[in-house]
Every structure is written in structure tokens, then in C-alpha cells.
Amino acid sequence: MAHRISLPRICIALGFPDAETLLAQARKEYDAGERFFEFRLDYLPTPEQGIAAIRKFLSRHADCTILATCRRHQNHGRYNGSVEEQVRILEAAIEAGARAVDIEIESAENCAERLQSLRSNAYVLLSYHNYGGTPPLDPLMRRMSRIPADGYKVVTTARKPSDNSRVLSLARSYPRSPMVLLAMGEMGFPTRVLSTALGGMYTYAAPTAAEGTASGQVSARQLRHLYRVEKFTRDAHIFGVIADPVRHSISPAVHNRAFQARRADAVYLPFLVKPVQLKDFLILAEKLPLSGFSVTLPHKQKILRYLDLIDPLARRIGAVNTVWRKAGKWRGTNTDVEGITVPLQKRVRIPKASVLLVGNGGAARGAAFALTAAGAKLSITGRNMDRVRALAKACDSEPLSREQAEARMFDVLIHATPLGMFPRVDQCFFDRRIPANLVFDMVYNPLETLLARRAKAQGAEVIPGLEMFLEQAVRQFEVWTGESAPRAVMEKAAIEALTPVAAAGA
């Protein structure tokens, strides 16, 4: 039986169609400080090329751990040989210096005796992959545990948020079994960050300059420096943002940097939550458990029905962007209000100012109620006039069609729709003149929108959306932690996340 080996927390998954590229990428990751690599032998024209690559790489980098995998085509790999041939390749990989091998449960069930022979010379990881969803896991674990192995890997596909907690909970349910636990896909991304803190042996990362071998993999640089997977503990406070889409949110970059600046044992994650999955997300939030989360498109209004306590202003607005747990209850507030009023107060006297608000969603509602409460003379326009009229009636303001709005001139224009947001950066609500002297665009990605450029071209002053984002994020941090927010650190992180050059290197 193989000796227990200590594995680093991050394994770089390397799957390439030729051995030269495989070695080149492994060397790049080695130079970046990585020491644990999965060589996917089944990606190569012949696995034997991978055997030679293992030997060559370890001859110069003996301080590394190589995990050899040769997954069969029947199990979503690329190797078309028999199980007997697969085992022979893994034996050769061990002879070449691989300290660990990964073999699928489907193959292992057909070569149990050979598997124990492998264990005498290397760490054997028994793996299960499901690319369709997350099945009942207890029957799966009973099936896998019938075959002795040094570790067990369960990788499913997350189809709903609670699949994440189901997969991660296996470490708690089977504490004596060393496990690798992950859910694939964007919805399963939280498992890639949380698994090692919650009992998993390690997580997988994509190489920095190439794609990974599974959906949802990100680079080790992101896992180490943005999410700090090696720093936070099992007792860490977990926060996040729920959205659809969520991939391009800069909130993880900003809040994780803030936690780091305050030396907090905390992590902030992106949670992809479809409109029909809010209830299921709350199951995940209870199970992990989450300490709090940001709420953005399209959930700011619907989240109210799942909260225990909502502050009065957020209740009047009918939208929440900040949720936290206290005394076992979910509480909600709306920090978008500060995100609107604080930047505006620096430039204009809000009482009596004429303001045109574009939009009728959650962010627009927060702006509408904040401005009317501050005494502004508010008019509202948007693409859906029925919703515009409903919002105008709710906050005692004036509804206008786009044509009516363009024919007027206002002290302030506040844009609160997704138009112009990445990736649809060529969109703008106004086709011609921008009807205001001061334009506040809530869109912050990109840093400068088409609306902002057009406003500047006609001589208007512009408040970029980043100011609103930072103000509401600062308030969120303070609600969650009770500490003052590191504003300068958060602003620097936001700008870096929104700068293409910085994003390309992240």
C-alpha cells in the first residue's frame, strides 16, 4: 500500500494535444511557484508520449508531484484503449516518477486486484465524474468505498446552487476518507474555492496561459491571490454576490481585497443564481452557511419574499441589495441609496433639483425613493412605460416617454438600466441629445460607457458608475463586519478589475 503523501492545495490540470506544449506549460507554472501537476495522458496522440514527458520534467524538477491521469473515452476522457491497457499506462507513469494516479470508478470496478498493485507504488485516487448533474451522493459513496483507495474524488456538475453544498458536505459525512470534492460549471465555482477549507484534499486550477480541463476552472493565481484559498479557514465567514450573469462582477475582487486589508478570516464568492433558483440558493446559504451576500440583477426585488427582516426604507423601495444573517434571521437593506446620494451631494444641491431617472428595476427604485425623500423634482423614463408609470406613481414623480424626456433639459440625469454594460458596450438609451448638465451612469463596467462619452462630448459633467459601486460596497462591508471599510484599497481593486490589462493578468 502506498504511503500517505502530503499534497499541495492546488493541482494544475494540464491537458494538451502534444508533449512539447504540455512540458512548456508545466515549466511556466513551475516558474510561477507551482509544484503539483496533473498530466492528462489521454489528451496526447499516444499516452506513451506523456510517460516520456513525466520522466523528462521530473529529471529537472524533482521537487514536484505529478498526478497521472489517462481517462477513457467512455468516461469523458480521450483514451480509446481497454481498461487493461489503461492500467498498464498508469503503471508506466509510476515507473517514470508519477507519485499519484487517478483512475475512474468504472475502470477500477473491472481491475480491483491490479488497483491494489498500483497502490504499492503510488497514491491511487479513485474518481467519479458526472457531466450531467449531481446525483444522490450517498449511494455513490457506498459504491466507491467498496474499492480500497488512498483517496476518493467526486466531481459532479452543479445545475442548481444547492448542488454545491451537497458535494461539499461529503467531507463532513465521510471524515475518514481523504476526498477531492468539486462541482463543475460556473454554478459550481464556489466549490473550487471552498473545498480545501471544508475538508477536501486539494482543488484544481487551469494553467495561467491556457484553458483548463474542466468547466469552471480558473488559474492558480486567482485562487491564491484573489480568493486566498490557502489563507482562510474552515471557520471563515463566507460572503458573496448573487446574480445572473455573475461572471463579470468585480465585487469578488473588491471585497476580497478589503477582507485581506483588514486581515479578516473571510472570503467573498460569485454565485450564479437563475431567476427561478432564489429559494434553492437560500438552502445553500443556510447549509454553508453564508454570513451575508450582495444582491444584483435580476434578484433585488424578488429576494424580499425570502427575508425575515427588511429595513423600512428598503421595504418602501421594494428592493434589497445587501443581505446578512443575525441571530439566525436573514436581514435586508439597500445600500444603493448611499451609492446615489453621496456622489450627487458632492456636485449638486439635491433639494429642488430637476432629475431624470432612466430605468424601473431594483437600482432605479432605490434612486427614485432616495431622491424624492431628499426633495428632488423627479421624472422617470424607460423602455417599459407601464413599469415607468407604476414606479412614478409609487414615489410621486412624473412619468415621461423617451421622446418627452429628450425634449426637455434637466439638472441631473441618472441612468439605471443595463444598457451599455459589458459585454454590450455599444448600447445607449439616448439616440441623440443627452438631456442633462450632469450625467450619473450607474453602469461601471466598462469604466467609461457610451452614454458617458456622448455626455462629455456635449459638455456635460459625468459621474462614473464606479463612484456608486464603491459607495454601496463600502456600506455593505460596514454592515457585514461592523468595521470601517478600507475605501482606498477597494477603489484600487475595482479599477484594476475593470482595466483590461490588469484583468488579462489576473
Q: Are residues 498 and 444 in contact, defined by beta-carbon separation less than 8 angstroms?
A: yes
Q: Is 396 exposed, middle or buried (0-12, 13-18, 19+ CB in 10 A)?
A: exposed
Q: What is the 3-state secondary structure (H, E, C) of 33-59?
A: CCCEEEEEHHHCCCHHHHHHHHHHHHH
Q: How far apart are CA 413 and CA 327, in angstroms?
A: 41
Calpha distance 471→492 (Å, rounded): 14
Report the alpha-carbon distance of residue 114 to residue 69 in Å, rounded: 16
CA 428 – CA 419 distance, rounded (Å): 6
Q: What share of the chain is helix, strand, coil (3-state, %, to 5)?
A: 40, 20, 40
**How far from 474 is each of 236, 242, 341, 506, CA to CA, in Å?**
20, 18, 14, 23
Of 56, 231, 300, 326, the catalytic one is 300
Here the cell at position 433 is 441629445
Q: What distances in angstroms separate CA 159 from CA 118, 218, 235, 299, 448, one per listed residue?
A: 35, 19, 27, 18, 35
CA-to-CA distance for 435 and 455, rounded, in angstroms? 9
C-alpha span between 160 and 166 (Å, rounded): 11
Q: Grid coordinates standing for 431?
A: 439616440
How is residue 160 written as a grid cell? 442548481
DSSP letter for each residue of 367-420: HHHHHHHTT-EEEEE-S-HHHHHHHHHHTT-EE--HHHHHTS-EEEEEE-SSTT
The answer to whether 218 and 192 are in contact (CB under 8 A) is: yes
Helix residue ranges, H only, 318-357: 336-345
| The residue count for the chain | 506
**Neighbouring residues of 467: CB distance < 8 A, sequence distance ≥ 6:** 339, 343
What is the rounded CA–CA span in Å between residue 204 and residue 36? 10
Residue at 92: amino acid letter: A
Residue 8, Cβ neighbours under 10 Å: how many?
A: 17
Cα–Cα distance between 405 and 372 in angstroms, integer?
18
Distance CA 32, CA 206 (A): 13
The SS3 call for residue 285 is helix
d(CA 21, CA 14): 9
Is 28 a residue of the active site?
Answer: no
Query: What are the residue numbers of the active site?
Result: 300
